[in-house]
């Protein structure tokens, strides 16, 4: 299995409703892309203060590396990915992606 973690520095102008709509779009990918086992999202709640400005994020659990690779090029993911990038401070610089084998 792969745990695909995405941490974001979202634009300060985003309202709570904007954030929820973005996360809803991410969660909806589970219904259209095979191999997604779970999607969790939310704000960073670590008390350490080491977030580096990445205060929102989500994690997608895939059944295999191949499922993750299918997701990366899937048209629905590409569309949601573009929406994520346009919602972050600095575009791609506002994202941190980290995949783990679990």
C-beta of residue 59 within 8 angstroms of C-beta of residue 74 = no
Rounded-to-integer distance, Cα 102 and Cα 95, Å? 22
Of 60, 39, 53, 48, residue with least CA distance to 94: 53
User: Measured in Å, how far apart are the chain's first and last C-alpha atoms?
Assistant: 5
* Verdict on whether the full-model pTM lies above 0.85: yes
**Matching residue, tokens 């191999």:** 35
Q: What is the pLDDT along the chain (102 residues), one digit of tens a residue?
A: 999 999 999 999 999 999 999 999 999 999 999 999 999 999 999 999 999 999 999 999 999 999 999 999 999 999 999 999 999 999 999 999 999 999
In angstroms, what is the C-alpha Rg of the chain?
13
């Amino acid at each position: 299995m792969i745990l695909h973690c995405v941490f974001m520095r979202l634009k300060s102008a985003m309202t709570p409703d904007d954030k929820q709509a973005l996360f809803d779009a991410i969660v909806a990918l589970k219904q259209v892309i095979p191999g997604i086992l779970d999607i969790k999202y939310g704000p960073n709640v670590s008390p350490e203060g080491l977030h580096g400005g990445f205060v929102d994020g989500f994690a997608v659990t895939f059944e295999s590396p191949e499922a993750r690779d299918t997701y990366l090029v899937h048209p629905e993911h590409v569309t949601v990915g573009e929406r994520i990038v346009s919602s972050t401070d600095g575009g791609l610089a506002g994202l941190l992606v980290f995949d783990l084998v679990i």
